């Protein structure tokens, strides 16, 4: 598997993109949802979806599959990878479901908002946990 793009090691690139995603999530929440600027909120969501297709789809999932046997052979040693992958999959899954629900329903119906608001917070919460575990994994890999 390719290990660098334009001379930059891919894990560094992916971490950089994930930090951008974290900032976009925070900004989308503060300046979008809390300030009721839903156009901005939706733009932030779509931007995050796009970046996740790149980072999770093209890098993280192939790596996770490649390392699965190793991680499961010694779960105590590779606990951070197992938890990161599990929580990350949960976050991505919840996020994907939320995006599809609002695409299908359209127009932000209040009933749907009321039901999904707790799941939005759960999605961000699990994503942040996965992010910090991923960052820890990155530090272990590059600064042993």
Partner 1 sequence: MESNLPQKTDEQKLEAVFLYRGILDAYDAVGTELIGPNVLEEHVLPRMVYFVKEFLPEIFSQRADSSTLVDELRTFLTYFHKKVDDAQEKGTVRELTMNEIWQLRAAIFGYESVFINILGEAAIKDYVFVRMADILASYLPEALLNPSVSLLDKLQEYAKYIRDHEFVSYARVKAEGSEVTVAANGCAFARIHDSEAYQNLNVRFCPWGMIGSAIVAAHEGRGTVLKSSIFTTRGSVSHIETK
Residue ranges in contact with partner 1 by CB under 8 A: 34-38, 107-111, 113-114, 117
Please tell me the distance from the alpha carbon of residue 80 to that of residue 42, in angstroms, as a whole number.
Answer: 32
CB of 34 to partner 1, least distance (A): 6
Q: Which is nearer to partner 1, 7 or 118 (CB)?
A: 118
Q: What is the DSSP pairing of strand 4-5 with strand 8-9?
A: antiparallel
CB of 108 to partner 1, least distance (A): 6
Q: Which is nearer to partner 1, 71 or 99 (CB)?
A: 99
| 3-state DSSP assignment of residue 25 | helix
CB of 116 to partner 1, least distance (A): 10
Q: Which is nearer to partner 1, 100 or 108 (CB)?
A: 108
**Residue 35 has what DSSP assignment?**
T
Please tell me the distance from the alpha carbon of residue 139 to that of residue 141, in angstroms, as a whole number.
Answer: 5
């Amino acid at each position: 598997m390719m290990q660098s793009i334009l001379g930059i090691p891919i894990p560094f690139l992916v971490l950089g993109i994930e930090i951008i995603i974290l900032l976009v999530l925070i900004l989308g929440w503060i300046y979008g949802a809390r300030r009721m600027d839903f156009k901005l909120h939706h733009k932030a969501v779509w931007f995050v979806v796009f970046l996740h297709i790149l980072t999770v789809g093209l890098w993280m999932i192939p790596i996770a599959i490649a390392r699965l046997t190793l991680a499961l052979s010694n779960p105590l040693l590779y606990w951070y990878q197992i938890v990161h992958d599990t929580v990350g999959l949960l976050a991505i899954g919840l996020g994907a479901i939320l995006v599809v629900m609002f695409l299908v329903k359209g127009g932000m119906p209040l009933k749907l908002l009321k039901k999904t608001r707790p799941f939005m917070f759960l999605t961000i919460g699990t994503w942040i946990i996965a992010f910090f575990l991923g960052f820890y994994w990155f530090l272990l890999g590059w600064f042993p």
